[in-house]
Structure 1
Amino acid sequence: MTASSPMADVCIVVEGCYPFISGGVSSWIDWLIRNQPGTSFSVVAIVADERPREIRYEMPANLLDFQVLALAPRVRKPGLRQPDIDPERLAGLMFRVLREGDLAAFDGLLSLVAEPVCSRPFPRFGAPQPPLYSDLTASRVAWHAIVTCYERIAPHSAFSDFFWAWRNLAGSLLAVSTARIPPARTYHAISTGYAGLFAVRAARTTGRTAAITEHGIYTNERRIDLVMADWITDTIDSGLSGRDGRTDVRRFWIDAFESFARIAYDGAHRITTLYGANQSFQRALGAREDKLSVIPNGIELKKFAAIVPQRSGRRPTVALIGRVVPIKDIEAYVASAAIVRRAIPDVQILVIGPTDEDEDYHALCRRRVAELGLEDTVTFTGKVNIIDYLPRIDVLVLTSISEAQPLVLLEAGAAGIPCVTTDVGSCREIIEGAADEHPNLGPGGRVAPAMDADAIGAGIVELMTNEALRLACGENLRRRVELYFTSEISAARYARLYHDLVA
C-alpha cells in the first residue's frame, strides 16, 4: 500500500481475465463497475507472469486504481544473505495451507511473511525487514519447505515433478501473500483460487470485509483442466478400484486448489453465485449457509430493442459466440456442423469471437474444419461487434463443457434468438425455466449433453427446419430474459451487497 493510493469503496480481485481478455467474465466486470456509478472501485488483476499485456477495455471513470499481480514475479538470484526464518514453521504453515485449507494457517503464513527478520550470516548488517519474495522461494529455508512437504504429501511421486508443481503452487501462494494491498472498504474476488486468497488476505490484514462471487466453480474448472493436462506425468498406478491412498502430483494440484477454496470460503463474509445449483459445490468445501446467496446475471435490454431480424436475402445461419478455447469445446461445434450441413446444405456456421487466446487450439479447430470438408460452411470471424451479427442469426449454439450463467444465452434471448446449449451450469434453467417458474413460459431452445456432437447437431437441425418452433422458442426466451435477467435487477442486488459489506 502506498500513500498515494486512493481509498476505493470496492476492490475487485480477478484472475486471468479483465482487462486483458475480451468477453465473458471480463465483460461482466466492466458492466458491474459501470452500473455502480456512485461506487468507486480499484482492481487487482492476477496474471501468470510479468510480461506486458494489452488492455482491452477503456477504464471506467469510477475505477480509481489498477494493479497487476504476477503469480511468477522475477526473482533475484540468491546470494549470501539468508533470511533468519524458522524452517519448520514455514514448512508446517505451507503444508496446512496447501493440503488442509486451514484459515488459521493462512493467517500464520501472512504473519510470517510480514515479520521483520535479520539475515544470516550477517545478522547485524542492516535493520530487520520482512522477507522478500525471493527469500521465501529461493533460499535454504524455502528448500527445506519443499523437501519436508514432499515427504509428507507425495513421497511416492517423482521429486522432480513435485518440485515443479510446488514451484508453481507455493510460489503463486507466496506472491499473493506478499503483494501490495490497495486500500478499499471491501474486497470482492470474482472466484476462489488466488483471487479469493488475495481478497481474504486483504480483508484480514486491513480489518475490512471480503466477498466472493463465483460464475463457474473455480475448483471444478481447475479439476477439468488438470485431469485433461498432458504435461502432468502420472507416476502412481492406483488400479481400477481407485482406492490407492497415495498422492501423485496431479492429485496434489487438485487438492491445493480445493484447499484454497476452503480458505476463501472460510475467510469471506459473503459468498454469491449466479444460480442455486452452484451452492452445493460451495457447501461441499465448507461454505457456511448464512454466507450464501444467489445473484443472477442481467443484461441491458435496450441494447437489443432495436434489433430487427433479417429473414431474407441470406443463407440459413447458425452461430457460436465465444472464445476459441478448449473449455468452449469448439471441436464439438465443428463436428455438429457436419450433421447440420447434411440436412441443410447451404447453411452458414459461424464461430464469432477472439481466436488469439489459444492459438494451438484455434489451429486444431481449423484442421477439424478442413478434415470434414467444411471450409465453405464454417467461418471464424474473430472479434467483431456482436450486435451487427445478431439480426442474421437463426439459432445460437453454446457447446461449453463448463459454464455458469452465460451472458451470451441471455443476449440471444433478448434478441429473440432460440438456443441449443449443452447441459452445463444454469443453461437448462435459462432455456427451460427454473423449477419455480410459474407459469412456465415454455422452452427457449434445446439442451444437449456436453461433448455430444450428435445431440447438439440434432437440436440445431430441429430448430432450423421448423420455423414455427424456432420462432416460438425465440419468443419464449425473450420473455424469460425480460422477466428475470435484466441489468437493472442484477445491479440493484450488487449495490445492496456492497452496502451491507461496508456498513
Structure 2
Amino acid sequence: MRICLIAEGCYPYVAGGVSSWIQMLVKGMPQHEFVLCTIGATKDQRGVFKYEIPENIVEIHENFLDELMEGSFRTKDGRVLAPKEHQAMLDLITKDSVDWDTIFDMFGRGGRYKANQFLSSRGFLDIVKDACQEEYRMTPFNDVFWTIRSMLLPILNIMACSIPQVDVFHSVSTGYAGLLGAMFQHKTGRPLLLTEHGIYTREREEEILKARWVDVYFKQTWINFFAGMSRAAYHKASRIFSLFYKARELEIELGAPAERCSVIPNGIKMSRFQDIPPIADDGHPLVLGAVIRAVPIKDLKTMIHAFDLVRRRMPEAKLYLIGPTDEDPEYYQECLDLIRNLECTGITFVGRVNVAEWYGQMDILLLSSVSEGQPFVILEAMASHRPVIATDVGSCRELVEGNEDGFGPSGMIVPVMNPSLMARAILQLGSDRAMQRAMGEAGFRRVDRFYREEDFLAAYEKEYEEVKALGGRGV
C-alpha cells in the first residue's frame, strides 16, 4: 500500500511530539510505502531535516508558506466568475458554511483559475466589495482588501500543488495540511484519514486573540477562516482520530461527524525503558527533569520560577532540562537571562541526548506546557516508573489520573502558568519517596496496559486496510 502523510509545521523540519509520532508510524510499517507532503514555514528549511528519513518514505513533496505568499500580480484574469463561484468565495470570507467542492474545482490541480491572477481580477474585487457590504461596513476598504488577499493567497496557491499517486491520504492535522488532504480527496476520490494531535482550530484561535499583528476588526474573520478549513477536512475525511477522549468531544463540537470520530492513543516501545533502575531510596537530593524544547509553548519560565521557589526549601535540588535549544534562540536566551536574574543555581540545559538514558537519573518528570496533545514524555516517564507533575492541558490529566482504570494517580496535575502551585506539588511529592514509587508504579501499569507501540501500529494498520477497501465510499 502507498500512503501519503500530509504534515504542517513539524516533520521532518522540527523535533517534537507530532514529528516523533510520524517517525514511529513510518518506521513501524516497513511493509508500506509512504509519500510525505510537507508544509513548512520558510523555504530555507528545504532539505534541512531533523530526522533520518526512513527508507520506506519514497517521495517528499515540500511546500513552504513564505513561497505560497509570493508571486507576480501583473497578469490579471478578465474572466467573469460564475454565480456559484462568486458565492463560494464570498461564503469563504463571510460565512460558516462553505462550498469547498466548488473552490477545489476552481483552484485545484487542473482548475480554471491561478491564485495570483484571480487575486488581481475584477471578480475578486467584486467579492471584497460584497464582503464589505455584508460584514465590514465601518472598516476601510483597503484594510479589508489586503487582509482577505493575505488570507486567501496561501490556500489558493497550495491547492495547485501536484497530487501524489497513492492509495490513502492521511493528514496529521487540520489547518493547511487538512485542507490539502481534503482537496486531494476531492480530486482523486481516494480516502482521507485525519489525526489531530491537538485541536488546531482552538490553537489558532488562542494565537489570534493574543496576536498584535491582527487588527481587532479581523480577529473573528481569521478565527472563522481557520475553523472553516478544519470543517473542510472533517467533511472529507473517512475517519477522524484524536489521541484522547476530550479531544474527540471538541472535534465533534467543532463540526466533525461523531460517527467518524474515534480515539487511537499514542504508543511507545516499552523495551526502551526496561533497564531503567527504580528510584533510589538512599537520601540523595531531589532530581527533577523535563524533556522539553526551549520554545514559548512549553513555558519553561514557569518551571524555572517554580524551581527557584523549591530551591529555597530544598537547596540541593537539581533540575535537568533535556532537549533542543536551537528552535527559538531568542526564547532560550530569555530563559538563561531569567535563571541568571533569579540567581537560581542547580538548573542544567542538557541539550539533545538519548532521553531514555536520562529518565533513570530523575526522580520526577516536570511538564509546564500551555498547550499539549498527548505528550510522549509523560508516557516515557511512566514506562520508566517515574511520577509526573504536569499542567492541566491536553490529555495530561487523563494520563496522570487515569480514565477510571483503577491504577491510581501517576503524579499530580497543576494549573498552567502557576509557579507557586507547581512548586507546592514538587515539594509535596519530592519529599515523599514512598509516594514517588507508588505513583511511578501506577503510571507503569497504565502505560503498559493502554499505550504500547504495537497496539498503536495495529490500530492504524487496520484503519488503512479498511479505508483502502472502501475507496472513496467512506465519506
Calculate the TM-score normalised by the size of structure 1.
0.87
Equivalent residue in structure 1 for 2:218, among 237, 242, 249: 249
**1:115 deviation in Å?**
8.7
Distance in structure 2 (CA, Å) of the matches to 1:429 and 1:80: 55
Superposition map of 1:454-469 within 5 A: 454-469=420-435
In the alignment, what sits opposite 1:58?
Answer: 52
Mapped partners of 1:11, 1:320: distance in 2:
33
Q: Is the Cα–Cα contact under 8 Å of residues 101 and 261 in structure 1 kept in the other structure?
A: no
Q: Percent identity?
A: 32
Which amino acid in the other structure matches residue 82 of structure 1?
Answer: D
What is the 5 A alignment of 1:469-484? Answer: 469-484=435-450
1:70 to 64, 77, 88: 64
AA of the residue aligned to 1:25: V
Q: In 2, distance between residues paired with 1:163 and 1:346?
A: 60
Aligned to 2:473: none
Shift of the 85–111 alpha-carbon distance from structure 1 to 2, 3 Å rule, reads farther
Does the aligned pair in 2 maintain the 1:395–1:419 contact within 8 Å? yes
Q: Deviations over 1:246-292 (max 9, x none)?
A: xx211111111111111211111111111111122111122112101
1:103-122 equivalent positions in 2, closer than 5 A: 105-114=99-108
Residue number in structure 2 paired with 1:84: 79
Q: Does 1:447 align with 2:416?
A: no
User: Which of 114, 136, 146 matches 1:132?
Assistant: 114
Q: Distance in 2 between matches of 1:227 and 1:213?
A: 25
Q: Which amino acid aligns with 1:231?
A: W
Task: Write the mapping of 1:202-351 to structure 2, written as runs, cut at 5 A.
Answer: 202-234=184-216, 248-309=217-278, 311=280, 315-351=285-321
Tell me the secondary structure at the aligned position of residue 184 of structure 1. coil
Match for residue 373 of structure 1 among 305, 321, 343: 343
Deviations 1:218-253 (A, max 9, x none): 11111121122122232xxxxxxxxxxxxx211111
Structure 2 vs 1, CA of residues 329 and 161 (structure 1 numbering), >3 Å: closer, same or farther? Answer: farther
Task: Measure the CA separation in 2 of the matches of 1:159 and 1:469.
Answer: 63
Does residue 174 (structure 1) correspond to residue 156 (structure 2)? The answer is yes
1:422 counterpart residue number: 391
Q: Secondary structure at the match of 2:465?
A: helix
Deviations 1:397-437 (A, max 9, x none): 111122121111000000111100111121111111103x1
Which residue of 10, 18, 29 maps to 2:22? 29
Q: Secondary structure at the match of 2:54?
A: coil
Match of 1:46 among 24, 39, 42: 39
RMSD, matched Cα: 2.3
Q: How does 1:192-203 map to 2 (within 5 A)?
A: 192-203=174-185
Q: Which string of whole-angstrom CA distances, capped at 9 and with x for unpartnered residues, describes residues 313-340 of structure 1?
A: 9753212212222221222111111121
Structure 1 residues 328 and 406: CA distance shift in structure 2, 3 A: same
CA gap of 1:163–1:383, structure 2 versus 1, over 3 A, is: farther
Decide whether the 8 Å contact of 2:173 with 2:196 is kept in 1: yes
Summarize the Cα distance change of 1:20–1:442 in structure 2 as closer, same or farther, 3 Å threshold: same
Give the distance between the partners of 1:148 and 1:395, measured in 2 at CA: 58
1:360-406: CA deviations, max 9, x gaps?
322322232223221x2222233222123211111101111221211
Cα shift at 1:295:
0.5
- Consecutive unaligned residues of structure 1, counting only runs of 5 or more, are 1-7, 117-128, 235-247
- Residue identity opposite 1:137 in structure 2: L
Tell me the CA shift for residue 303 of structure 1.
0.7
The alignment partner of 2:43 has SS state of coil
Structure 1 residues 83 and 300 mapped into 2: Cα distance closer, same or farther (>3 Å)?
A: farther
Give a deviation string over 1:48-91, Cα, whole Å, max 9, x none: 34333421111112111111122342644333553525286655
Answer yes or no: is 1:100 the counterpart of 2:82: no
How many residue pairs were aligned? 466
In structure 2, distance between residues paired with 1:163 and 1:48? 24
| Superposition deviation, residue 147 in structure 1 | 4.3
TM-score when normalising by structure 2: 0.92
Q: 1:83 to 1:29 in 2, by over 3 A?
A: farther
Shift of 1:11: 0.7
Structure 2, unaligned stretches of length 5 or more?
470-475
2:374 to 405, 408, 412: 405
- Is the Cα contact below 8 Å between 1:193 and 1:260 reproduced in 2? yes
